Amino acid sequence: METTNMESTPMPRIGDQAPDFEAVTTKGKIKLSDFAKNKWLVMFSHPADFTPVCTTEMSGFAIRKKEFDALNTELLGLSIDSVHSHLGWVNNVREKTGVYFDFPIIADIDMKVSKLYGMLQPNESETAAVRAVFFIDPKKKIRLIMYYPLNVGRNMNEILRALEALQTSDKFKVAMPLDWIKGDKVIVPPPKTLEEMEARLKDDSIEMVDFYLAKKELNYN
C-alpha cells in the first residue's frame, strides 16, 4: 500500500475493508464496525472548526442531510479538534445561520483516525486533516475516496451524484458514463468473450456505438 512520508501508515484504498476504530464524537462514542449497520456511510474530514471553508462545507452536509437519508446513508464528520470545540462550533453556526450539524463529528484529537485513513497529509498540513471523503458500503468496504486540499471546498452535488452512481451501479450491474446523473443512460458492461461479443452485436435493444460501447435506459420501477 502507499504510505505517507511522515510515518509508514498504510493509506486505505478503494476495495479495502474500512479500517475499524473507536472514537469520541458529538453524539457519543462510536465503533465503526457497529455504526451505520446495513447502511452506506459517507465519512468526511475537515481541517479545523471555526474556519470559513469548513463552515460552508459542514453546512452543506447539514442542509442536504435529507438527501443522504433518502439514499440510506449516514454522515460522519471528523477533524483534529476537541469535542468541546466541535460543540462550540455547532452551536455558533446554529446561532449565526440556523443550520444545525445533526450528525456525529469525530473529535480526533490524538489523530488516530486521521492517520488510519490517510487524512493527515503532512506536505499539505502536519496538524490538520485534508478534506477527505470516504464512501463506505453496507459491508464496510471502501468504494470511493476523494481528497481535497485545505484551500478548495468540495462539491456537494458531486458527493451525492457519486453516491447515487455507486448505488445504481451495484443495483443494476451497469457502469456510469461521464457526468452521469439519475435518469441518464448507463453503460452496459462490455462483453468478455467472443460469444458475448457476437450476441451484443445482434442486440438491438441497446444503443450501440460498437460492441464495447453500449448504453441503455434504466427502468427504476
Q: Which residues are annotated as a binding site for substrate?
A: 131
Q: Which residues of 158-184 are buried (b: 16+ CB within 10 A; e: fewer)?
A: ebbbbbbbbbbbeeeebebeeebeeee
List 54, 76, 142, 186, catalytic entry: 54
Nearer to ligand BEZ, 120 or 128 (CB): 128
Please state, in angstroms and rounded to a whole number, the distance separating the CA atoms of residues 157 and 176.
16
Which of positions 42-61 make contact with ligand BEZ (CB under 6 A)? 47-48, 51-54
Convert residues 114-153 into a mask of x (bound to ligand BEZ by CB under 6 A) and - (unbound). Answer: --------------x---------------------xx--
Site track 8-47 with ligand BEZ (rule: CB under 6 A), x = hit? ---------------------------------------x
Judge whether 133 and 57 are in contact, CB under 8 Å. Answer: no
Q: Least distance from C-beta 51 to ligand BEZ, angstroms? A: 3
Pairing of strands 40-45, 28-31: unpaired
Going by the annotation, the residues of the binding site are: 131
In DSSP terms, 131 is beta-bridged to: 148
Torsion of CA 206, 212, 213, 217, to 10 degrees: 30
Residue 54 is a catalytic residue: yes
Residues of the shown chain interacting with ligand BEZ in the complex, contacts defined by CB under 6 A? 47-48, 51-54, 128, 150-151
Hey, which residues are catalytic here?
54
